[in-house]
Chains A and B, each alone.
Chain A
């Protein structure tokens, strides 16, 4: 259940982005000033928000452009549009030809990439501090001047389909997750996968992309985050010069409906060739705009973060029921999301037995107050993880940006205090309110036995001329 973004990758599910991130980043007081106190915010006259965080520990900078658009902004039958547009953003402008973007960044010793989630599309360049001007110029250029060409689109859509095959179709866990989301959400856009349904990818058109780009890729719907070895008084004028002249655009409608409360547990099964079964349960929960969301954040850590966590200690080590068991909370999703619990039973163990064991763990949370030393341990763990994750400039930028997407970047400073406030009673109350069967969709991957087997041939002789 790791979020991966390779080259121009989709973040493969709406939850994965946050969970992976918070597995790393979870709490901490930096020396002296808080994170938010060290950030400078400027809003350019055209509405583009610029967040700058100086950090001089290494001669590098991460430059990131975040657009407030993701699969939640898509329409049914046009799913996957945000992510396809992300791919197309590398296809050039009048000034820079197709594929020149990454080439130029690499020539300057930098790495670039992009990722898409349900809530955002983000582009970044990590590069030496003396080269940041190149990223500023080129990102400003493609915010306003992207050239969308039919040929590029047709080829790139094939690439995205390959990406979908790799990440989803041939990965039984990913298929279960996709199906679970489609079951847990009925009305809100978290229902469909970020990468889109295969048949929707086929029916997207260049016109869809043009319209989407016009609607969402505007200063008023974007913000920049820059972290690293620069001086604000030198960098900000460069940014103003490059981005300042871009027309502000019309703020797009960002209000999306939320699913009404569900009327009882939902259960679903995916049958697919696989080695081991897999169990995934999603509980409807609020995001960080509700204080209870921080309690859920603590619960997720208590259940599965670290080798002394309840899942690892009880289910992996002591009872030897599972290969792994995870709990993940979608604290930073823009609309309310799911609290996910997953488990991979060991061979010979019954899914039902594992599900009972997971339910027992939740029952324990609902019934017994968490002992104070255990809660202290969890808070320490979250605090230290938050601190150590800041070793990465990239993650500092991610942190600010994800808070900005979900509410405001300033809320990053609420994270630790909100965690510290959580009491054993809070945990019990929140577990009783949200982590109950009535709010849950339970999904099971039932492995089908393999229908094919290995074979070895003595040699091969496919010559270029015989194919194509």
Chain B
């Protein structure tokens, strides 16, 4: 049966090409993005190809809309286990054989789930393209998910969950998600929980794969030492044989916790790890770009940002402090994250709240606005300067429907943001008075023991 499937897969099916669009960007001294060829196969798979021949290396990045937000209730971790399970044996190769063959080529093949999507990435030297692509397609379309392998994977994940308990930032992030996302597919950890993981069966995994691993919810970027001829002859026939499927309709709803809320986690540590935030936005929110500018000024812009200036540069209270909007397919979170010695925790929290409030009430300066715009627009080439970065960028541009002219449009979208708009989005999307605060610290040293920090 396996070999039948293989024969079907290798049949050339060029007629199934539905559309091929060339997105070549205008020439310029700093062309933001190299040319990309976009093709939609009959199965619905969107294929993005970008040639660059300075190294005999090819990178594949497949994005599938099958992240942990698709986990059935009570089966948290299923999407992640399925993604990891792709590499644990196929219809033609055991996990050992698979690993052995990959390492013999020096190829890397990685799978992993996030909240929205799963990625499967291959990096392979050109001379091993055929073999590497074989393994890639096998992992994607013919995984067998052996029970013994899944059991080991679950054991490893459980141990990793335990080990992460000693990393304060992980502890704080998990607590923050748990508190903020009340009823939401975004609430649970991607990898699942101690309670849910033992409940996952091989049949669950196989069903999840059958349902969600379909080309009509996937994007594949191929970047590097490839040619259109090679894509046409070697890749498309096999990709086209990957069959589309009907996915169950998604009913995504989130209830966000109403702040203020505080979660304190007492640990014998020298520093307090602080996560302060609240609901954020989805990637398709039209204010995304104004928020990018606002957040750069607030705490996204490293040494150009207010939080770093106030907390680190002026007062020496932290090595690391930053803010970000985690813009997902559906609304995610806004967070400020920092570490400071226990004794400075309250001062640092107060400064964060103060800066959030200042952003809402005072206009930013022309200088701040202009610096933010210059960085955001000017740094675009750095976001695309390796195969890994470019392939990741291309899949996301497609996933979020930004269009391949995105790098061209981006500067004008950013440059039209005004000071008034920065204040408007700050007022709309920053809510210091309703924030969720998570502190992992030695609470006594931090003066945050229950009761003490209240007025």
A residues engaging B (CB < 8 A)? 6-7, 27, 30-31, 55-60, 90, 98-99, 102-103, 106-111, 126-131, 154-163, 165-166, 169-172, 273-276, 305-309, 312-313, 316-317, 320, 323, 344, 346-347, 376-377, 380-385, 387-388, 390-393, 450-464, 466-468
Contact = CB atoms under 8 A, between A and B. Distances in A.
B316 A130 contact: no
Contact of B354 (A7, A159, A464): A464
Interface string B260-287: 1111111111110000000000000000
B378 interface: yes
Contacts of B377: 109
A276 B159 contact: yes
Contacts of B450: 455, 457
Given A162-B317, A166-B271, A461-B454, 6 more contacts: A107-B304, A109-B380, A158-B317, A169-B271, A313-B96, A458-B261
Contact of B29 (A59, A158, A462): A59
A6 B106 contact: no
Interface in B161-177: 162-163, 165-168
Contact of A468 (B339, B350, B387): B350
B263 A456 contact: yes
A171 B264 CA distance: 20
B160 A323 contact: yes
Q: At the interface, is chain B mostly helix, strand, loop or mixed? A: mixed
A344 B159 CA distance: 10
A184 B312 CA distance: 35
A158 B267 contact: no
B260 A306 contact: no
Nearest to A305: B103
B353 interface: yes
Given A320-B155, A461-B454, A162 B57 contact: no
Contact of A308 (B96, B168, B263): B96
Interface in B346-405: 346-347, 349-351, 353-354, 371, 374-375, 377-382, 384-388
Interface string B307-321: 001001111111110
Contact of A460 (B54, B262, B302, B314): B262
A27 B104 CA distance: 14
A31 B225 CA distance: 12
Contact of B350 (A323, A393, A467): A467
Contacts of A461: 260, 453-455
B104 A381 contact: yes
A438 B162 CA distance: 34
B107 interface: yes
B94 to A, nearest CB: 11
Nearest to A381: B106
A380 B105 contact: yes
Given A163-B319, A462-B349, A457 B455 contact: no
B255 interface: no
Contacts of B108: 388
Contacts of A377: 100, 103-104
Contacts of B106: 27, 380-385, 387-388
Interface residues of B, number: 96
B340 A162 contact: yes
A459 B108 CA distance: 47
A155 B442 CA distance: 23
Nearest to A453: B266
Interface string B300-337: 01111000010011111111100000000000000000
A306 B103 contact: yes
Interface in B70-118: 87, 95-96, 99-100, 102-108
Nearest to A228: B385
Given A456-B264, A464-B350, A6 B319 contact: yes
Contacts of B443: 452, 455
A308 B270 contact: no
Contacts of A309: 103
B268 A99 contact: no
Interface in B39-54: 52, 54
A451 B106 CA distance: 46
B56 A155 contact: no
A466 B354 CA distance: 12
30 contacts: A27-B106, A59-B31, A108-B378, A109-B377, A111-B382, A128-B382, A162-B316, A162-B340, A169-B269, A273-B166, A274-B166, A275-B166, A276-B162, A305-B103, A306-B103, A308-B103, A309-B103, A316-B156, A317-B152, A323-B156, A347-B159, A380-B104, A384-B128, A388-B123, A392-B386, A393-B385, A450-B267, A451-B268, A455-B266, A458-B261
A462 B385 contact: no
A141 B314 CA distance: 24
Contacts of B15: none
B353 A464 contact: yes
B264 A455 contact: yes
B29 A7 contact: no
Contacts of B347: 467-468
Contacts of B128: 384
A323 B318 CA distance: 32
Contact of A391 (B301, B386, B455): B386
B159 A109 contact: no
B350 A462 contact: yes
A157 B316 contact: yes
Contacts of A305: 103
B269 A170 contact: yes
Given A159-B316, A165-B341, A323-B159, A391 B261 contact: no
Given A109-B375, A380-B106, A455-B450, A155 B316 contact: yes
Contact of B384 (A58, A320, A385, A391): A58
A57 B52 contact: yes
B382 A454 contact: no
B303 A391 contact: no
Nearest to B157: A323
Contacts of A155: 313-316
Contacts of B454: 460-461
A8 B353 CA distance: 26
Given A170-B269, A460-B437, A106 B162 contact: no
Given A381-B106, A459-B260, A106 B303 contact: yes
B235 to A, nearest CB: 19
B365 to A, nearest CB: 13
B2 interface: no
B319 A381 contact: no
B339 A166 contact: yes
B125 interface: yes
Interface in B56-73: 56-57, 59
A226 to B, nearest CB: 15
Contacts of B270: 165, 169-170
B228 to A, nearest CB: 19
B166 A452 contact: no
A460 B167 CA distance: 24
Given A162-B341, A468-B350, A31 B382 contact: no
B55 interface: yes
The CB with the most chain A CB atoms within 10 A, among B317, B319, B374, B442, is that of B319
A17 to B, nearest CB: 18
B1 interface: no
A158 B103 contact: no
